[in-house]
A and B are shown apart, each in its own frame.
Chain A
Amino acid sequence: MSKLDSKIPPGPIDKKWTDHKGHIRIVAPANKRRIDIIVVGTGLAGGAAAASLAEMGYNVKAFCFQDSARRAHSIAAQGGINAAKNYQNDGDSTYRLFYDTVKGGDYRAREANVYRLAEVSANIIDQCVAQGVPFARDYGGLLDNRSFGGVQVSRTFYARGQTGQQLLLGAYSALMRQVGKGAVQMFDRHEMLDVVVVDGKARGIIARNLITGEIERHGAHAVLLCTGGYGNVFFLSTNAMGSNVTAAWKAHKRGAYFGNPCYTQIHPTCIPVSGTHQSKLTLMSESLRNDGRIWVPKNIEDAKAIRDGKKKGSDIAEGDRDYYLERRYPAFGNLVPRDVASRAAKERCDAGYGVNKTGEAVYLDFSAAIERYGKLEANVKKIENASQEQVRELGTSVVSEKYGNLFEMYENIVGEDPYKHAMKIYPAVHYTMGGLWVDYNLQTTVPGLFCLGEANFSDHGANRLGASALMQGLADGYFVIPYTVGDYLADDIRTGPIKTNTPEFDAAEKDVKDRINHFLNNKGTKPVDDFHRRLGKVMWDKCGMARNAQGLQEAIMEIRQIREEFYRDVRVPGKAGEFNQELEKAGRVADFLELGELMCVDALHRNESCGGHFREEFAETDGPQQGEAKRDDTNYAYVAAWEWMGDAGKANLHKEALEFNEVKLTQRSYK
């Protein structure tokens, strides 16, 4: 029998969460003091959860591999956070945010979870304002909003191009307040290397102190994984260098099912790859698509001349430019969802219209916005007959006020002034919608093991809308887990502290030490990154923006080959009992080498195209939707939850059927 019980509460969708909260069990204040909770990861989900649970009275141990909880990768989110506040009076509502998210996810998300997310979104803004998060405000002192892709309202709250940073520092300050009180014990520079399951329940973790190399045992009544996404399986991504799948993957190998691993978000606006030395890719916020227009030359000769350095973008006359998003999707234009925008860029570049040396770049052009804002400013400043130059200058300062830090970032990396020359951008791996399967309470298939934020699969279906990752991380951490974890822990008020001197902890610790010793004693010839790069290339070429059965089958064989070579030939210098960054990387890449295979297996089994998963065999062949993704709701309207059976290629598929009672399944159209 399948273990998949989504535990969606009964009742109408707008009452489910309230009724559920009102009926689940809670733990009395005096009993909370007897309960220990481990939180792994201190990003928006983990930081918010650890702080909130400690405020409630639980004993919390928080872990992060970074040198401080403040450095989790949530900090790099730029554009904003969605909330159904309807401050702009543009018709927004909880229902509309819910609807947009389900549609944006290409009808592959669980309705009840998404509705709850939309429902608590407004509370998040209130909570963050109360913490002193300096959101952008207008001259009246009220909160400002902007638009993001895939929606037709303005519901995105922001703090210049650093919204993730400001929200994370808010959660971090709440966390540090509890650390100061002794309610949270903070373990930074610690990496979780296994989950310990006792009598079928998660009862602790094995962690490595990254400074001393010591292997530590930590017991708890529940374990929360808030460990982010696995985009670094592609080697090149917008993720931080340390972002990894290890915690989630170890949990998977201990019984937690992995949901929809193939759903990967390729973000359309990133700085193109410049060379083989490249270690990561940098995102240019989606908010830029509010004002930037995306184009390539209409004539292939112009594109060739640009690639050869004989012409510049500015040499191409207005009439010879193909604003392909505006052309193909008039209703949403440059603000189509990410998966659609990315595929459209790939389509143009594959057809030979790319505008940099590698042929893999399109223009993101602000000249129209600069002119439009410049004219408005001239009116405001009562400058009559402003010269072209004056207009440009005024417009540039408006654009700089809005996106200044992003423009600076671009200029630093590329060495070209984006106010003068159109930016060149190309899609890059950014986010993973897949993750550990969880029920409505965010519990995995291992009792007592919960999963929050990007690390779980639950809210974004096959494609995430912009500014929704921050929303989900904080919703899970501040407003969902504090309630749902209590229902599970109500059985544990008499359990007493979890002992770590048991055979289960012995065995898990031995596994961890054996793995470490294997790497150090291997004495191969190639550094870890060599294998990671090779894996990344296979994943990008064959399990990236477009996939097909043949490519995926090849990828599976290639990944197995790389994995075999990795274990035979990797060289990890140094010792176990010291600060050893190569050893850290080796463990993470070992897990990516298994996950990569599962992603391909999942992508191969899903014979349809949906959201970020685009199978070339399944596209509309004619009609107004020609070339667009072709879903198969009859056969694939389910969550694929994979069970580990001892080998990445042998995973066992479980299906959670998705029921849509509120939103009608239709072809997603942004035309």
Chain B
Amino acid sequence: MGNMKLNLKIWRQAGPNDKGQMKDYPVSNVSEDMSFLEMLDVLNDDIVRKGEDPIAFDHDCREGICGSCSLFINGEAHGPGKGITTCQLHMRRFKDGDTIHVEPWRSAAFPVIKDLATNRGAFDRIQAAGGFVSVNTSGNLVDGNAVPIPKDDADKAFDAATCIGCGACVASCPNGSAMLFTAAKVSQLSLLPQGKPERKRRALAMVEQMDKEGFGNCSAIGACEVECPKNISLEHIARLNREYLAATVTKE
């Protein structure tokens, strides 16, 4: 165990209908090698031993790829540091005596389940609206090398496809927009030949679902790009806008 002392101020909310409030938790013996979530584990261990209700938060892989973890830490999605998720945030980024505010994603489209855990089902519904190539499973498809894809396109598509669906973009956006998330999928598939046949339908359907879920509009502020743990670029939003515009003007 280490010897850092911290003052945590953590959002506690018993359920979706509870008002919720910030609560103080002083912690000590924090080691700089701990991840932020391991620090919360130690706090929860203590809370359980006292017979109280531990702090609920989502997490799973703890290596920055599953997209489960969230947390707004000192006003930043996934806390300080670029290109990392909360589970990759280590305590060496903080100083002894620091006060740290920990809150859930704040968005009307991501209602709080309990404490720091929110419901991000809206992202699944956007995906279900059109975030796919309509191809069934078959053992007789064309060979993977039948259609060469320029390396540059494949690389760009990959960059967009690295989105982990964590919701940091929505939480960071003053408008609560889900454009970066939606754009990443639309962009990935529109860059690849396999995704081109249904690109119009896809852009229209995903944007329509996004609006239906209650996400706000994009006004090109760019906070999403700054806070995205996978550094997904705003360029993809530009590409979505082009796709959407093209689909709208040629719509029958």
- Cβ contact within 8 Å between A172 and B33: no
Are A275 and B127 also in contact (CB < 8 A) when A126-B144, A141-B151 are?
Answer: no
Interface residues in B119-135 by Cβ distance below 8 A to A read: 119-121, 123-124, 127-135
Interface residue A129 (Cβ < 8 Å from any Cβ of B): yes
Q: How far apart are A273's CB and chain B's nearest CB, in angstroms?
A: 10
Are A160 and B158 also in contact (CB < 8 A) when A177-B128, A177-B134, A277-B42 are?
Answer: yes
- Cβ contact within 8 Å between A134 and B161: yes
Interface residues in B18-50 by Cβ distance below 8 A to A read: 31, 33-35, 37-39, 41-42, 44-45, 48-49
Residue from A73, A138, A482 within 8 A of B151 (CB atoms) = A138
- Cβ contact within 8 Å between A279 and B192: no
Q: How far apart are A342's CB and chain B's nearest CB, in angstroms?
A: 20
In the assembled complex, the Cα of A129 lies from the Cα of B144 at a distance in Å of 6
Are A130 and B60 also in contact (CB < 8 A) when A71-B66, A136-B154 are?
Answer: no
- Cβ contact within 8 Å between A174 and B132: yes
Q: Which of A61-69, A252-260, A308-316 contacts B (4 or more CB under 8 A)?
A: A61-69
Q: Which residue of A lies closest to B134 (CB)?
A: A177
Q: Which of B72-80, B82-90, B169-177, B218-226 contacts A (4 or more CB under 8 A)?
A: B82-90
Interface residue B92 (Cβ < 8 Å from any Cβ of A): yes
- Cβ contact within 8 Å between A159 and B48: no
Q: Which of B51-59, B96-104, B235-243, B244-252 contacts A (4 or more CB under 8 A)?
A: B51-59
Interface residue B137 (Cβ < 8 Å from any Cβ of A): yes
Interface residue A571 (Cβ < 8 Å from any Cβ of B): yes
- Cβ contact within 8 Å between A71 and B68: yes
- Cβ contact within 8 Å between B120 and A132: no
- Cβ contact within 8 Å between B195 and A573: no
Q: How far apart are B151's CB and chain A's nearest CB, in angstroms?
A: 5
Are A130 and B194 also in contact (CB < 8 A) when A409-B88, A573-B53 are?
Answer: yes
- Enumerate chain A residues within 8 angstroms of B113, measured Cβ to Cβ: 211, 579
Q: How far apart are A542's CB and chain B's nearest CB, in angstroms?
A: 25
In the assembled complex, the Cα of A179 lies from the Cα of B52 at a distance in Å of 39
Are A134 and B131 also in contact (CB < 8 A) when A73-B60, A409-B88, A581-B56 are?
Answer: no
Count of CB-CB pairs between chains A and B under 8 Å: 221
In the assembled complex, the Cα of A637 lies from the Cα of B82 at a distance in Å of 52
Interface residue A89 (Cβ < 8 Å from any Cβ of B): no
Q: Which residue of A lies closest to B83 (CB)?
A: A408
Interface residue A12 (Cβ < 8 Å from any Cβ of B): no
- Cβ contact within 8 Å between A525 and B90: no
Residue among B37, B194, B195 facing the most chain A CB atoms (10 A cut-off): B194
How many residues of A sit at the interface, in one of the four size bands?
Answer: 35 or more
- Enumerate chain A residues within 8 angstroms of B39, measured Cβ to Cβ: 277
Contact with B along A116-136 (1 / 0, CB 8 A): 000010010111111110111
Interface residues in A599-613 by Cβ distance below 8 A to B read: none
Residue from A55, A73, A85 within 8 A of B66 (CB atoms) = A73
Are A51 and B151 also in contact (CB < 8 A) when A412-B88, A526-B49, A573-B53 are?
Answer: no
In the assembled complex, the Cα of A479 lies from the Cα of B140 at a distance in Å of 11
Q: Which residue of B lies closest to A70 (CB)?
A: B165
Count chain B residues whose beta carbon lies closer than 8 angstroms to a beta carbon of A. Answer: 79
Q: Which residue of A lies closest to B190 (CB)?
A: A132
- Cβ contact within 8 Å between A159 and B158: yes
In the assembled complex, the Cα of A571 lies from the Cα of B48 at a distance in Å of 7
- Enumerate chain B residues within 8 angstroms of A76, measured Cβ to Cβ: 61, 63, 65-66
Interface residue A574 (Cβ < 8 Å from any Cβ of B): yes
Q: Which residue of A lies closest to B68 (CB)?
A: A71
- Cβ contact within 8 Å between A409 and B1: no
Are A132 and B136 also in contact (CB < 8 A) when A137-B151, A138-B151 are?
Answer: no
Are A71 and B67 also in contact (CB < 8 A) when A87-B145, A141-B149 are?
Answer: yes
Q: Which of A162-170, A324-332, A429-437, A616-624 contacts B (4 or more CB under 8 A)?
A: A162-170
Interface residues of B (CB under 8 A from A): 1, 15, 31, 33-35, 37-39, 41-42, 44-45, 48-49, 51-54, 56, 58-68, 83-84, 88, 90, 92, 113-114, 117, 119-121, 123-124, 127-139, 141-145, 148-151, 154-155, 157-158, 161-162, 164-165, 188-189, 192, 194-195
16 contacts between A and B (CB under 8 A): A67-B119, A68-B121, A71-B68, A75-B66, A126-B144, A132-B188, A134-B158, A137-B154, A164-B65, A276-B1, A277-B41, A279-B38, A279-B41, A479-B137, A579-B56, A582-B54
Interface residues of A (CB under 8 A from B): 48, 51-52, 55, 66-71, 73, 75-76, 85, 87, 120, 123, 125-132, 134-143, 159-160, 162, 164-166, 169, 172-174, 176-177, 179-180, 186, 188, 211, 240-242, 274-280, 282-283, 408-409, 412-413, 415, 478-479, 482, 525-527, 529, 571, 573-574, 578-579, 581-582
**Sample of 16 more A-B contacts, CB < 8 Å, known A139-B151, A143-B144, A415-B90:** A70-B127, A85-B144, A126-B144, A130-B133, A130-B135, A137-B149, A141-B151, A166-B161, A176-B128, A240-B60, A242-B60, A277-B33, A413-B90, A478-B137, A573-B48, A579-B15
Please give me the 7 A-B residue pairs with the lowest Cβ-Cβ distance, nearest first.
A141-B148, A180-B128, A173-B132, A134-B158, A52-B137, A129-B144, A176-B128
